[in-house]
């Protein structure tokens, strides 16, 4: 069961990294994301999309760091947990800031 969860973490982390890189390069969300995933955003600008991309990359790195902890030595695993927590907090901060920024511009 542990390998299944670890594999799902790799898939989810990789997907978030890819989606975040896409948003950074393009600066806009694809058309099919508009209905499903953009509900907290009021007005999407390239800056807001790029902040969302950085947030997705931070969350993906956090998930991947936690996923690698069972296969590395204990000292490295502790460092990975710290990296994961910092990446997660940065991702949450970027997400909240980009959401606030999109709502501020909509007024």
Helix (H, G, I), strand (E, B) or coil at 83: helix
H/E element, 35: helix 33-36
DSSP per-residue string spanning 12-23: HHHHHHHHHHHH
Residue 105 has pLDDT above 80, yes or no: no
pLDDT digits (tens, 9 = 90+) for 62-89: 999 999 999 999 999 999 999 999 999 9
Domain ranges of the chain: 2-106
pLDDT > 70 in the chain, percent: 94
Sign of the alpha-carbon torsion through 49, 52, 56, 58: positive
Helix (H, G, I), strand (E, B) or coil at 7: helix
């Amino acid at each position: 069961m542990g390998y299944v969860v670890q594999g799902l973490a790799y898939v989810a982390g990789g997907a978030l990294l890819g989606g975040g890189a896409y948003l950074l390069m393009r600066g806009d969300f694809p058309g099919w994301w508009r209905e499903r995933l953009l509900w907290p955003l009021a007005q999407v600008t390239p800056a807001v999309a790029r902040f969302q991309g950085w947030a997705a990359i931070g969350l993906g790195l956090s998930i991947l760091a936690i996923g690698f902890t069972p296969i590395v030595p204990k000292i490295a695993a502790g460092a990975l947990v710290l990296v994961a927590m910092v990446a997660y907090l940065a991702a949450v901060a970027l997400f909240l800031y980009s959401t606030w920024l999109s709502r501020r511009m909509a007024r």
